[in-house]
Amino acid sequence: WFVFTIISLKTSLLTVKTIAVDFNRTDIYDKITRELSGVEVVDVLVNNVGTVYHIPEYFLKIGPKYNDQYLNVNVISAVKMIEIVLPQMCRNQRGIIINVSSQASESPIPMYTTYSASKAFVTFLSEGLSVEYESKGVYMQTVVPNQVHTKLTTNVSVPLISVSAEDYVSAAIQTVGVEHYTYGHWKHKLLAYLADWVLYVIGRRLYMKVAMNGTQPMRRKYYTQNNMSDD
């Protein structure tokens, strides 16, 4: 289950409306539309809902259930939420939409293949719409973090590059209105530049193999800790 909050500011009156929905489902958007019908103005949408499999894993081992989750939560939610709020923003000639993607969208990441592909969709959707609707007064930003320490990253935490959610938000929010495409935090920006350099030097195919090899220790550790057989 996911909860999102709509904040509407009318003069000095602050209205907060909280809606609880399960973004694994695709039949929730009529409810969201109805709930938002009583909100006069929505000026900011942050598409931050997302899911990732708990460890690096092969496509067939993840299975249809989790691949469906990637599509429903990471892909469809972004499209549908933008569909809901964008018409009003265009009418009002103002609005901010922040779409949280991932650095995994910049190159395929084997063992996180479906996740990486779903985030590539978010990146392309966000960047394309940012140009389409700029003249309508709608500012759209694509945020591409690397690892942010949350419950989603418990099993794959890399302390050297991981930042707390609080630190990341504090840094990323300063880029709103400044950068249409942002890594959000200096650590992640530096890492992205390094990754681009390595990709340029060794080529895409070898880069993906190196990335895949880097995920194996985390996967083996999880299998060992949970007495699982890797057949």
Q: Catalytic residue numbers? A: 115
Q: Which residue has the tokens 């942010």?
A: 148
User: Is there a contact between 67 and 51 (Cβ–Cβ < 8 Å)?
Assistant: no
Q: Residue 37 burial by CB count (10 A; 0-12/13-18/19+): exposed, middle or buried?
A: exposed
**Sequence letter at residue 171:** A
- Residue 166, both tokens: 């609080």
Helix (H) or strand (E) holding 7: strand 2-10
Question: How far is the C-alpha of 70 from the C-alpha of 117, rounded, in Å?
Answer: 9
Question: How far is the C-alpha of 209 from the C-alpha of 45, rounded, in Å?
Answer: 36
The C-alpha angle with vertex 153 and arms to 113 and 184, in degrees rounded to 5, equals 85
- Residue 175, both tokens: 């880029």
User: Is there a contact between 23 and 38 (Cβ–Cβ < 8 Å)?
Assistant: no
Question: How far is the C-alpha of 134 from the C-alpha of 136, rounded, in Å?
Answer: 5
